[in-house]
């Protein structure tokens, strides 16, 4: 699997949860351009009297906007800042989003570090961690085991896709097409025929 293919896939996995956000942001014909929205949020973040909750909300919105604009490095930074924006609390979702951005950039060690506190409690973090390890080593045996684990059923199409892309076995591509004919991973797989 080329680095570009992996990056494209990781970004696709990462962007799926935010598609609704994208529609909300761009659905109104009179909406503010993303670049202006980014500048407005950055200004708000520099205000002296900003509350931790407002800082967190603004950082999350800024991270999503950076993702939508393709600035994954800035998104990773904003996600990490959002994860710790409220004193005494860690936003696990923001930390996971940061890890996905880091993985998409090929920053494997930094992604693994971000995932570490999430592994005992977050199935998506474990999946990403297994995916990173499989990509780094070329060993898909853990992913193959996950494919039959009911706990990972919601990620089955993603698992099939990763196995296929890492080891090149078209059996997994065909399973993906047969079991998930309308999924985003299948659309990518079919387009690479």
In the 3-class helix/strand/coil scheme, how is 89-125 assigned residue by residue? CCCHHHHHHHHHHHHHCCCHHHHHHHHHHHCCCCHHH
- Supply the pLDDT for residue 23: 38
Place of tokens 């923001």: 94
The class of domain 3-116 in CATH terms is: mainly alpha
Contact status, residue 189 vs residue 177, Cβ threshold 8 Å: yes
Burial (CB < 10 A; 0-12, 13-18, 19+), residue 36, is exposed
pTM: 0.82
Q: What is the pLDDT of residue 6?
A: 55
What's the pLDDT at 17? 44
Locate CATH 1.25.40 in the chain. 3-116
User: CA triplet 56, 118, 12: central angle to 5 degrees?
Assistant: 75
Low-confidence ranges of the chain (pLDDT < 70): 1-30, 193
Q: In this structure, how many other beta carbons lie within 10 angstroms of the beta carbon of residue 45? A: 16
Q: Is 2 helix (H, G, I), strand (E, B) or coil?
A: coil
The rounded distance, in Å, linking the Cα atoms of 149 and 49 is 49
pLDDT of residue 89: 96
Q: What percent of the chain has pLDDT over 90?
A: 77
């Amino acid at each position: 699997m080329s680095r570009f293919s992996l990056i494209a896939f990781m970004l696709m996995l990462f962007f799926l949860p935010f598609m609704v956000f994208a529609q909300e942001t761009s659905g109104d014909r009179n909406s503010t351009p993303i670049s202006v929205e980014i500048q407005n949020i950055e200004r708000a973040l520099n205000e002296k009297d900003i509350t931790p909750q407002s800082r967190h909300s603004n950082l999350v919105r800024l991270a999503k906007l950076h993702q939508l604009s393709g600035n994954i490095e800035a998104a990773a930074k904003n996600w990490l800042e959002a994860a710790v924006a409220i004193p005494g609390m860690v936003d696990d979702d923001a930390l996971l989003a940061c890890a996905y951005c880091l993985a998409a950039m090929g920053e494997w060690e930094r992604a693994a570090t971000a995932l570490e506190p999430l592994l005992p409690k977050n199935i998506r973090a474990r999946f990403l961690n297994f995916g990173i390890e499989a990509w780094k080593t070329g060993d898909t045996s853990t992913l193959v085991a996950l494919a039959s684990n009911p706990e990972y059923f919601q990620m089955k199409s993603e698992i099939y896709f990763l196995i296929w892309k890492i080891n090149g076995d078209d059996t997994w591509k065909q399973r993906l097409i047969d079991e998930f004919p309308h999924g985003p991973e299948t659309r990518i797989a079919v387009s690479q025929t």
